[in-house]
Amino acid sequence: MYIQSCPYYLQKVNALDELESEILKLGGSACVLLNTRFLVEVKLLINDCPVECIPFDEEITLAALNTLASTVLENELEVIVGIGGGKVLDCAKALAERLKLPCIVAPSSPSMDGATSALSIIYSESGEVEKILHLSNHPRLCLVDETLLLNAPPKLFKAGVCDALSSYIEGRDAYSSISAQVIAKACFDTLINESEAAYHACLNQTPHESFSHCIEAILYMSCFAFENTHESLTHALAHSFTQIPALKSLMHGESVGLALLIHLNLINDSILNQQVNRIYKLLSIPKSFTEAGIDLDNEQMKQLTHLTINNELSANYKGELDASILYKSIQSLI
């Protein structure tokens, strides 16, 4: 049995106020990758340690990593920090891995569950998933600022709910530790029971206990669950979405939301279907490609079927799966 997780997770109101002290615990200087909109705010938080703040609003590609690595080495920086969305965090983790430096991540939204993982997704210049890096270390710390996340657009919360719901459903067939099974189910139950109240907290930008619970479920519990069970058909589909032009504009969590419904169509579990569909209705999450504003033709559905069947994560799916069965399930979302 091998259990892995991020060693330190700090979630609270105004958690970013702790950023400088946490950097100083790990070294004396830092490279801070961040979405441009956070540049001024982060500079105001850091007074006593030298930092190089680098706006990063592009795809995480191998070329981008090479450029950033040169900057860190030239400036002899000792800690890598990522503040922003999933691609910024993935870039920070991959950069820290390459340079063998400690990493701090601070997600700016709850739109996906990979912040604390030892994974980074590398994209091609055209925006397709090119490679999934399995890193040797997790981020040393995940700093979760509830104030920042509460002010994020509500659609990002909905995307994160979809991503986190999938962890339990994909992991049910895995041979895993008791702790992984328990946390996966606790994550799922938390979202089923509390995501409606949490979503209204997002809409009103008002703190609420259910919002705090759901953020923990998305950013910590879900990641623990998928890293210690496995991803399967839902994420095989979601990664394949990036290679279909009509689907490339979707955020990862939005892709997972639609992919999860395709996955559920293949599972003979009416209770699970009812639970997930109820949450989609309460949060106004699209339940079809049409509702998501996407027009898929037969050729694109065939291409999506082929890409998914040949994606390595599909091998983890324990049910019956062939091109005909999968195509029909995809077609049911039109």
% of the chain exceeding 90 in pLDDT: 84
Quick check: helix, strand or coil at residue 333?
A: coil
Average pLDDT over residues 181-205: 97
Average pLDDT over residues 234-256: 94
pLDDT surpassing 80 at residue 254: yes
Please report which confidence band the pLDDT of residue 90 belongs to, taking 50, 70 and 90 as the band edges: very high
CB atoms within 10 A of CB 13: 12
Q: What's the confidence (pLDDT) of residue 68?
A: 96
Please report which confidence band the pLDDT of residue 127 belongs to, taking 50, 70 and 90 as the band edges: confident
- Which structural domains are found in the chain, ordered by start? 8-150 (3.40.50.1970), 154-331 (1.20.1090.10)
Q: What's the confidence (pLDDT) of residue 77?
A: 96
CB atoms within 10 A of CB 1: 9
More confident residue, 119 or 173: 119
Burial degree of 169 (CB within 10 A; 0-12, 13-18, 19+): buried
Please report which confidence band the pLDDT of residue 261 belongs to, taking 50, 70 and 90 as the band edges: very high
Q: What are phi and psi of 294, to 5 degrees?
A: -115, 135
Please report which confidence band the pLDDT of residue 75 belongs to, taking 50, 70 and 90 as the band edges: very high
Locate 187 and state its tokens.
């994550």
Is the Cβ–Cβ distance between 160 and 112 less than 8 Å?
yes
Is the sign of the CA dihedral 143, 165, 333, 132 positive or negative?
positive
Q: What's the confidence (pLDDT) of residue 125?
A: 85
pLDDT surpassing 80 at residue 116: yes
Q: What's the confidence (pLDDT) of residue 292?
A: 97
